[in-house]
Amino acid sequence: MVGRVLAGRYELLEKVGEGGMARVYRGRDQLLKRTVAVKILKDQMTGSADFVRRFRREAQAAAGLSHPNIVNVYDVGEEGNTYFIVMEYVDGNNLKQYIREKGYLSPAEAVAIARQIAAALVQAHGAGVIHRDIKPQNILFSRDGKVKVADFGIALAADGSTLTCSDDIVGSVHYFSPEQARGNLAGKQSDLYSLGVILYEMVTGQVPFSGESPISVAMKHVQDPVEPPRRLNPHIPEPLERIILKALQKEPGKRYPDARAFLDDLLLFQQKGTAVALPASDLSADDGDTLVIKPVRQLDDEADPEERAELPAPKRWIAPLIIVLVVSFILVVGFIYLRGLLYVPEVTVPPVRELSQSDAVAVLIDAGLKVNPEVYYVFDDKIPVGHVVRTEPVQWRKVRQNRVVDLYISKGPETMSLPDLFGRTESEARRLLKEMELQCEIIREHNEAVAEGMVFRQVPEAGFRLSRGEQVIIYVSQGGPPFQISNLIGMTETEARDYLEVNGLLPRLRYERADAPAGTVIGQYPEVGKNVKKGQSVDIVVSKGNGKSEDDDD
């Protein structure tokens, strides 16, 4: 796919990501000269006519959204069996990566991020667009730190997917709403639940529910109560816990009525440290049906008095005592056995920075750890390509044996596509290269075809990929080469004008009375033999004659 041009304008430069439904490429809009992200649906997704129909409808609706916290959708198209969305290119990490790097976020930072996501949902829901797949992988950060919500318009088309172990489902199921987990169509309230999960994860470092399979996680969303986040992180303010638990209510009607109400409560907490949401004890109450157990018949009370009298007094307490002793013994033995089963020794995460990926995996396994098969690739200016930049958990940290370790592998220095500088002014070219953190060398040469001060050549050429700090040479025109001006004195005004025009010079005329015939050039500046360049002005003095004429009345 790399190198292909879609719709005659979107050149695919490099693949930057892949999910269960689509591949994402960094591309170049050749018409508007800007970097874009191009999401191309996988072949298995385009085999269904129903899927394609829903994809077109939702993507076109998303293209109508415009908000600072929403990744802009520029274009939706198809070319043969290739279906694609052209979006704003956001050159930054996603929220999932950011949480992994920091462990968990402060309440202030988490609320600031959640507020921007909620603002995006207010805009989208107001336009009738529901995301249906709000998760931290779809929350991007621009270079200036602004939060951008991506992938509006693709989730509904995929609603027919079953809970398999695809990358998209494994990544999404932790953020499913209970109604999505039941297989029902997601609505606006589902987006609010997913935002509640993200907020929970930001302040605790973990999702509310996890399990061995997508099905088990989905069932927990439906059945299990949410553990209050303050039990995991006691530094979370109580009003913020109330906001989170309200968003995570099982029933959509018990969550915030809309994204605006959610946003308002976040703003209230941010400004005054309080919230409208009910106390956590009210929010986390179980609304399910109560199981009523029929009382056991009290045989001793209802038995015939004579029957009770027949039982010898000592035998009434011997049997219960034996039962108590046996049960106690079983419990003690069971506790000791289970403790042995549940006890997991601790190991230390070994240092594997700068090792190759295969060597790092071997070292981690030898240390009694497991390695996540999903590797995360990051740019690094110092670590060679294919070698480990860092691990999560970090090296030297003590963890449980068999803990899964994430590897972050170097992609080498971050590269960028060199823009086309031809026709730009020298100052503009310098500014662009400075913003890209590239070195700039200026070479000035004469060039008759390009105006003075404009770039007419660059090395490397446009589109070449460079790393920060590398050098770019730009050639700036000095205009045409200088030449010696001819003697214009004695020429007629018309002849002098023609000479100047042919040589690219600009005449500035002045008329004076003189003995020379009227219309004759009697002076010039620069003088004959002096160097001039195209575009330069030349002063010429033209005689008005010496006798009485109509010119005397001028």
Would strands 5-6 and 10-18 be described as parallel, antiparallel, or unpaired? Answer: antiparallel
Q: Are 26 and 34 in contact (CB under 8 A)?
A: no
Q: Are residues 117 and 56 in the same domain?
A: no
* Domain residue limits at 488: 483-553
533 lies in some domain: yes
Task: Classify residue 315: in a domain, yes or no.
Answer: no
Q: Is 133 a catalytic residue?
A: yes
Q: Do both 119 and 227 map to the same domain?
A: yes
Task: Give pLDDT < 50 ranges for the chain.
Answer: 157-170, 284-315, 550-551, 553-554
| C-alpha separations of 27 from 70, 80, 140, 429 in Å | 19, 19, 18, 22
User: Do both 426 and 408 map to the same domain?
Assistant: no
Domain of 527, CATH number, reads 3.30.10.20
Please indicate, yes or no, if residue 313 is contained in any of the structural domains.
no
> Same structural domain for residues 129 and 179?
yes
Considering its fold, how many domains does the chain have in total? 5
Give the DSSP per-residue string, 187-247: -HHHHHHHHHHHHHHHHHSS-S---SSHHHHHHHHHHSPPPPHHHH-TTS-HHHHHHHHHH
Q: What is the pTM of this model?
A: 0.52
In 383-505, which ranges are E strands? 388-392, 398-400, 404-410, 415-417, 439-445, 455-459, 465-467, 471-477, 483-484
**CA 110 to CA 125: how far, in whole Å?**
22
Do residues 488 and 540 both lie within one domain?
A: yes
**Cβ contacts of residue 362 below 8 Å, gap of 6+?**
none
d(CA 534, CA 134): 61
Q: Where are the beta strands (DSSP E) in 446-504?
A: 455-459, 465-467, 471-477, 483-484
How many angstroms separate the CA atoms of 346 and 455, rounded?
63
Question: For 388, how many CA atoms within 13 A lie in the half-sphere containing its CB?
Answer: 24
C-alpha 517/C-alpha 6 separation (Å) is 69
**% helix / strand / coil in the chain, to the nearest 5?**
35, 25, 40
State residue 370's pLDDT score.
93
272 shares its domain with 355: no
Q: Do 232 and 250 fall within a single domain? A: yes
Is the domain of 47 the same as that of 148?
no
Please indicate, yes or no, if residue 337 is contained in any of the structural domains.
Answer: yes
Does any domain span residue 291? no
Q: What is the pLDDT of residue 300?
A: 39
The single residue of 50, 75, 133, 168 carrying the catalytic annotation is 133
CA 359-363-369 angle, 5° bins: 130
Of 195, 101, 88, the residue nearest 151 (C-alpha):
88
The separation between CA 360 and the C-alpha centre of its own chain, rounded to angstroms, equals 28
Place of tokens 């700039």: 440
**Residues 405, 424 within the same domain:** no
- How many other β-carbons are positioned within 10 Å of the β-carbon of residue 178? 20
CA angle 318, 320, 325 (to 5 degrees): 95
Which residue(s) pair with 114 in the sheet? none
One domain for residues 11 and 159: no
Query: Of 445, 471, 497, which one is at a domain's C-terminal end?
Result: 471
Boundary-marking domain end, from 373, 394, 413? 413
Q: How far is CA 210 from the centre of its chain?
A: 24
| 433 found inside a domain | yes
314 found inside a domain: no
The predicted structure's pLDDT at residue 294: 34
Do 119 and 192 belong to one domain? yes
> In terms of C-beta distances under 8 Å and separation of at least 24 residues, what long-range contacts does 2-6 make, across chains too?
5/30, 6/38, 6/77, 6/79, 6/82, 6/84
| Claim to verify: residue 395 and residue 445 sit in the same structural domain | no
The per-residue pLDDT for 158 is 40
Report H helices in 64-210.
95-102, 107-126, 167-172, 178-181, 188-204
The CATH number of the domain holding residue 160 is 1.10.510.10
Separation between Cα atoms, residue 505 and residue 498, nearest integer Å: 10
- Residue 299 belongs to some domain of the structure: no
